[in-house]
């Protein structure tokens, strides 16, 4: 023990100048088994416990994945365990005061090992009050702006550290292929390539060089939960290994390559094995194939679900055993972990060396993040960082770039001189629901609703507001009829419809985590509202606030303008108004296909060639709006698609160039997209796959030559034995403004 102390008797692990590896081993050697196992356990915060034990019953906890308390144990019990060094992490701590207090308890423990605070900072640290709220991931992905993804992650990290938060449960790099699933808005969409790049930049933005200015990223949920068999979160997933490796694994592998140091396994079972006890996922693939160096954390009580839901473990203790031996490092969350895991070690079923592996990984992150030297955040300076002007401007920019113009028959941009009296109505017209899922209550002065944004951007306009309430399932027919009546007295109508995501009314939402649907229609009287307002004969604009694609076919066919704003965050109302009135030219493109109805599920752009060999009877087989689609107030002309060569070896590359010209009268930004198809191959390949894109700014009349390089990694696929190859033959290059065949210029080259 003396050999691991400095000349002044200070333990080596407290020496900030010592190598992290040596500090970890010194500390690990001083820890009891109970302290080690405690590092592998996470608890919800004390205030969260107190709030929920006063309002929930033990029965309520069984299907609740948002709120918790520990029957038979109080918040004071958890506080005492923290002082004894038996708690490694907390989540659902939402204030700096509580974070600093809990850390002070940990500092009283025998070894003074700091706790690491995790939080669902999905689009900014929005799950805690008084933080910048950016658009959710699906909107960010629709910007196709990788630099913006990186910047938002860096700013989020700064705001988190200002609150003494160190670990975000983001990015969600699942590939969303079912619009019924409530968490589509939390993802970067349906395309593995776009999801991979967005996830990579987000990881880099959060983690930096993993020092005291950074936070730990968590790539999640591993794997396959975004294509559940019935569209509901956590239901079984049955996928071929080919689909898993070609579609769902690439974003996780890219996240590992980017340096992600934590990963969360998925709620679901994958091909009959719960992901939380899936050794193939955690050990064979993650650590064996990809050389992942970080730690794996469970999702909310999902280790317990190995026993009480999946029934592959006879009891809780067996569930803990299965999960740890399959590769799990940290348990979210609960009171029996410490007791049962220590028993499993003392019984010889789990070697203590296996526990040491997990604790090393966790302690390394705590040292690298500087928690031993900086366990607290400064309450005096916290608001110098949070909601600062720079971050607010980024939130506004991101909202502007995330809003997709789906239809415009010449109505937009609006003229305030022409439309002097405007009806504004709909459940999302004047509601903080615009913040999106994973958002806490924010102060009114920090949120701009659509109605507020319209009044800000067009102050001379008489906006007539008819409140439809916040709940689409309980809309008032009287309010609908009042809006229809007033529409006849106005020059223009704006209906702001969509989903309800506010987490404060967990059981009343229609979208978000654990809020899945059996259809994708507008809920309640919203369609009736739109149709009655449009029946006034006055031009009607539909704005959608939603975290999932919605099948608004009637509106698409009958209204002159349709805007998909996703969940645009704190300045969403301003950004929407700026776009409606032409102060900002829309530029976003869909990161996910929008089906006409739920009956088209699965509707993805990168489908196999035979998927529509036999078309649907009666209804079209085409989507309502395709992946990569989005309109502008100007026009872009694509021409002169060129390849620098038409034959290459398997390790060669091709330069692809295209001329894009702004032929309209307004400056704008265009997202140029490159797709590839392997014309003939030993296994079936998608009809097209996104392989590159470029976001370019063009003045009216300006042309630009856009160049891409098609490298071997963009041509690889898995052969019959699931080995990556570049196969000889013809490859078709497609370049254009969307994935729609009608929008694409094509050329071919051959691999010899």
- Render pLDDT for 368-424 as a digit per residue (tens, 0 to 9): 999 999 999 999 999 999 999 999 999 999 999 999 999 999 999 999 999 999 999
Comparing CA positions, the residue from 391, 449, 344 lying closest to residue 155 is: 391
Across the range 43-68, mean pLDDT stands at 87
6 falls in which pLDDT band (50, 70, 90)?
Answer: low
Dist CA 239 CA 181 (whole Å): 17
Q: For residue 746, how many C-alpha atoms fall within 13 Å in the half-sphere facing its CB?
A: 15
Determine which of 31-35, 47-51, 197-201, 489-493 has the lowest per-residue pLDDT on average: 47-51
d(C-alpha 340, C-alpha 268), whole Å: 24
Mapped onto helix, strand or coil, the DSSP state of residue 181 is coil
Residue 64, pLDDT score: 77
For all residues of the chain together, what is the average pLDDT? 96
| Arithmetic mean of pLDDT, 133-139 | 98
Kindly state the average pLDDT of the residues 152-180.
98
Calculate mean pLDDT across residues 430-448: 97
Residue 7 pLDDT: 64
Q: Above pLDDT 70, what percent of the chain?
A: 99
Q: CA-to-CA distance for 407 and 219, rounded, in angstroms?
A: 35
Q: Looking at 539-593, which runs of residues are DSSP E strands?
A: 540-545, 561-564
Coil/strand/helix, residue 61: helix
Residues linked to residue 657 through DSSP beta bridges, in sequence order: 642, 707
> Which residues have CB under 8 Å from 677's CB, separation 6+?
685, 686, 687, 688, 689, 731, 732, 734
Residues 6 or more apart whose CB falls under 8 angstroms from that of 626 comprise 590, 593, 605, 738, 739, 740
pLDDT beyond 70 at 35: yes
* Residue 353, phi then psi, degrees to nearest 5: -60, -30
Q: Which range is least confidently modeled, 57-61, 321-325, 659-663?
A: 57-61
Q: Where are the beta strands (DSSP E) in 439-582?
A: 462-467, 492-498, 540-545, 561-564
> How is residue 247 annotated by DSSP?
I
Q: What is the CA radius of gyration of the chain?
A: 27
Q: Is the per-residue pLDDT at 3 higher than 60?
A: no
Beta strands in 137-294 (DSSP E): 167-168, 219-222, 262-265, 269-270, 273-274
Structure tokens of 54? 């006063």
Q: For 65-113, how does the pLDDT look when each residue is reduced to its tens digit (9 = 90+)?
A: 788 899 999 999 999 999 999 999 999 999 999 999 999 999 999 999 9
**Residue-level pLDDT at 1:** 43
Query: Which pLDDT score, from 0 to 100, does residue 279 have?
Result: 98
The C-alpha atoms of residue 184 and residue 228 are separated, in whole angstroms, by: 12
Q: Which domains does the chain have, with CATH numbers?
A: 31-383 (3.20.20.300), 403-612 (3.40.50.1700), 636-751 (2.60.40.10)
The whole-angstrom separation of Cα 170 and Cα 168 is 5
d(CA 290, CA 223): 15
CB contact at 8 A, 236 and 228: yes
Peptide bond into 333 cis (omega under 30): yes
Query: Strand, helix or coil at 515?
Result: coil
Checking if the pLDDT of 4 tops 80, the result is no
pLDDT, average across residues 513-529:
97
Rounded mean pLDDT of 720-731?
97
Q: What digits encode the pLDDT tens for the residues 609-637?
A: 999 999 999 999 999 999 999 999 999 99
Query: What CA–CA distance (Å, rounded) separates 254 from 259?
Result: 9
**Given a cut of 60, is residue 646 above it in pLDDT?**
yes
Tokens 């008489």 belong to 462
Position 54 scores a pLDDT of 87
Whether the predicted pLDDT of 654 surpasses 80: yes
- Write out the catalytic residue numbers: 299
CA distances from residue 38 to 94, 109, 549, 601 in whole angstroms, order as listed: 22, 12, 42, 44
- Tell me how far apart the alpha carbons of residues 186 and 503 are, in angstroms, rounded to a whole number: 14
Q: What is the pLDDT of residues 267-297, one digit of tens each?
A: 999 999 999 999 999 999 999 999 999 999 9
Q: How confident is the model at residue 670 (pLDDT cuts 50, 70, 90)?
A: very high
Q: Is 423 helix (H, G, I), strand (E, B) or coil?
A: strand
Task: Taking each helix axis as running N to C, give the angle between helix 352-368 and helix 337-346, from 0 to 180 degrees, rounded to the nearest 10.
Answer: 130
pLDDT at 56: 82
């Amino acid at each position: 023990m003396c050999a691991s102390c400095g000349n002044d008797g200070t333990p080596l692990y407290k020496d900030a100048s010592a190598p992290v590896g040596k500090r970890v081993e010194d500390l690990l050697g001083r820890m009891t088994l109970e302290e080690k196992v405690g590092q592998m356990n996470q608890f919800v915060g004390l205030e969260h416990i107190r709030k929920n034990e006063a309002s929930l019953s033990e029965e309520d906890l069984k299907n609740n994945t948002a709120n918790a308390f520990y029957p038979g144990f109080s918040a004071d019990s958890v506080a005492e365990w923290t002082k004894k060094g038996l708690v490694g992490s907390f989540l659902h701590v939402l204030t700096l005061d509580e974070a600093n207090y809990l850390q002070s308890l940990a500092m009283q423990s025998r070894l003074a090992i700091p706790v690491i605070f995790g939080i669902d900072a999905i689009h900014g640290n929005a799950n805690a009050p008084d933080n910048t709220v950016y658009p959710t991931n699906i909107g960010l992905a629709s910007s196709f702006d990788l630099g913006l993804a990186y910047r938002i992650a860096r700013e989020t990290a700064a705001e988190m550290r200002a609150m003494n938060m160190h670990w975000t449960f983001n990015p969600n790099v699942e590939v969303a292929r079912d619009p019924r699933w409530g968490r589509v808005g939390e993802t970067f969409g349906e395309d593995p390539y776009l999801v991979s790049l967005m996830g990579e930049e987000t990881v880099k933005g959060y983690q930096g060089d993993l020092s005291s200015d950074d936070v730990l990223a968590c790539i999640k949920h591993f794997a396959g939960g975004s294509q559940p068999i019935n569209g509901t979160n956590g239901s079984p997933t049955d996928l071929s290994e080919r689909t898993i490796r070609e579609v769902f694994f690439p974003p996780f592998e890219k996240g590992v390559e980017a340096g992600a140091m934590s990963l969360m396994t998925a709620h679901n079972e994958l091909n009959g094995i719960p992901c939380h006890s899936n050794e193939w996922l955690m050990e064979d693939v993650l650590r064996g194939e990809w050389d992942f160096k970080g730690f794996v954390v469970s999702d909310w009580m999902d280790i317990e679900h190995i026993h009480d839901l999946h029934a592959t473990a006879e009891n809780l203790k067996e569930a803990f055993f299965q999960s740890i031996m399959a590769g799990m490092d940290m348990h979210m969350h609960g009171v029996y972990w410490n007791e049962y895991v220590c028993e499993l070690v003392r019984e010889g079923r789990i070697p203590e060396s296996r526990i040491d592996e997990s604790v090393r990984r966790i302690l390394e992150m705590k040292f690298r993040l500087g928690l031993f030297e900086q366990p607290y955040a400064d309450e005096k300076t916290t608001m110098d960082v949070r909601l600062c002007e720079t971050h607010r401007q980024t939130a506004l920019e991101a909202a502007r770039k995330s809003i997709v113009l789906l239809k415009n028959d010449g109505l937009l941009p609006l003229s305030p001189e022409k439309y002097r009296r405007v009806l504004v109505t709909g459940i999302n017209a004047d509601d903080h629901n615009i913040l999106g899922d994973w958002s806490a209550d924010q102060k009114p002065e920090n949120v701009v609703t659509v109605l507020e944004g319209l009044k800000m951007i067009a102050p001379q306009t008489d906006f007539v507001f008819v409140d439809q309430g916040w709940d689409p399932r309980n809309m008032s027919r009287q309010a609908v009829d009042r809006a229809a009546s007033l529409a006849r007295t106005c020059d223009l109508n704006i209906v702001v419809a969509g989903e309800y995501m506010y987490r404060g009314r967990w059981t009343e939402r229609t979208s978000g985590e654990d809020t899945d649907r059996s259809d994708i229609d507008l809920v309640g009287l919203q369609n009736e509202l739109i149709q009655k307002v449009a029946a006034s004969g006055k031009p009607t604009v539909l704005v959608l606030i939603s975290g999932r694609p919605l099948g608004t076919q009637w509106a698409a066919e009958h209204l002159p303008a349709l805007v998909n704003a996703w969940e645009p965050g704190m300045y969403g109302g301003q950004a929407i108004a700026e776009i409606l009135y032409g102060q900002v030219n829309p530029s976003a493109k869909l990161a996910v296909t929008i089906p006409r109805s739920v009956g088209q599920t699965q509707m993805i752009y990168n489908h196999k060639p035979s998927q529509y060999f036999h078309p649907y009877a009666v209804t079209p087989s085409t989507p309502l709006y395709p992946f990569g689609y989005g309109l502008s107030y100007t026009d872009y002309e694509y021409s002169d698609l060129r390849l620098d060569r038409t034959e290459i070896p398997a390790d060669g590359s091709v330069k692809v160039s295209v001329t894009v010209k702004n032929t309209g009268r307004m400056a704008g930004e265009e997202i140029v997209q490159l797709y590839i198809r392997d014309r003939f191959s030993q296994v079936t390949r998608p009809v097209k796959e996104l392989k590159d894109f470029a976001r370019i700014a063009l003045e009216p009349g300006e042309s630009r030559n856009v160049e891409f390089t098609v490298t071997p990694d963009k041509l690889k696929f898995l052969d019959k034995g699931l080995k990556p190859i570049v196969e000889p033959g013809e490859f078709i290059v497609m370049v254009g403004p969307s994935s729609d065949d009608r929008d694409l210029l094509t050329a071919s080259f051959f691999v010899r």
